[in-house]
Structure 1
Amino acid sequence: MPYNLLSDINPSSIHWTIQVKVSRMWEFHGNTDEGPIKHLDLILLDEKNNAMYAEIPPDAISILKPKLNEGMVAVIKKFLVERAKTRFKAVDAPYMIKMNRLTNINKTGTYPPTFPEYTFRLTPFHKLNEYVNVDEKFHDVIGQVTAVSNSAVVRVSKDRHQTKRVLKLQDLSENTLDVSLWGNRALEFNGEQVYEQGQKQAVIVIFVGTLYKKYGGPPFLSCTSACRWYINKQMIPEVQRFYQQLPQPSKPIEKITLVSNATITTQVQPKTIMQLKKVDPFDQTDERYCCTVTISRLTPNQGWLYVSCRKCRSGTRLIGGTYKCNDTDCTEGDPEYRYKLCLIGTDGDGDLEFVLFGDVAQLLIGKPVIVMRNKYRSDEIPLEIQNIVGQKFTFVVRISAKKFIRNPNADPSFEVIYIAEQFGKQDLNLQINMNQPPSTSTPLQVTKDLPPLMPITDNTIGAKEDKAQDNNLEIPFDPMDIEDNQRLFDDGTGKKRAFEDIEDSPSGSTMKAKSKSSKTK
Structure 2
Amino acid sequence: MQGPKYLSELPKGRCFSPITVRVIRKWTHHDSSGQGVPLYVGMVLADAQGHAMYAEIADDLIGEKACLFDVGKVYVLKKFVVNNAKKSYRAVDRNLLINISQHTTVQVVPNPPSSIPEYIYRITPLPAIKPVRFVYNYTDTIGYLIKYKAAHTFVPKNKEKAKTLREIYIKDLSDNVMQVTLWGDQATGFNISDIYDREAGNLIVCLIVGCYPREDLMNNNKPCLSGSPACSCYLNPNIPEEPGPFKCAVTVVCITNTSSWWYMACRPCKKKADQQIDGSYSCPKCGGYNTAPRYLLHFIGKDDTSEASFLAYDDEAYQMIQKECEAVVNPLHKREGLPQQLQSIMNKTYILSVDLTDESCQTTKIREYQVKAVLERPSKRPSTHRTTAAYHDPQGPGSSTALIATPPSHSEVLQIEYPAQSTPVPASQTDHDAPKDDRSRSTTKHSVARRRLLREGSSPIKHTAGGDDEPENTQPSDTDTEDTTPLEPCPKKAKSDTQTDDATASQE
TM-score bracket relative to the smaller structure: 0.3 to 0.5
Which structure exhibits the higher relative contact order, with contacts defined as CA atoms closer than 8 Å and separated by 6 or more residues?
Answer: 1
TM-score normalised by structure 2 residue count: 0.45
TM-score normalised by structure 1 residue count: 0.44
Larger radius of gyration: 2
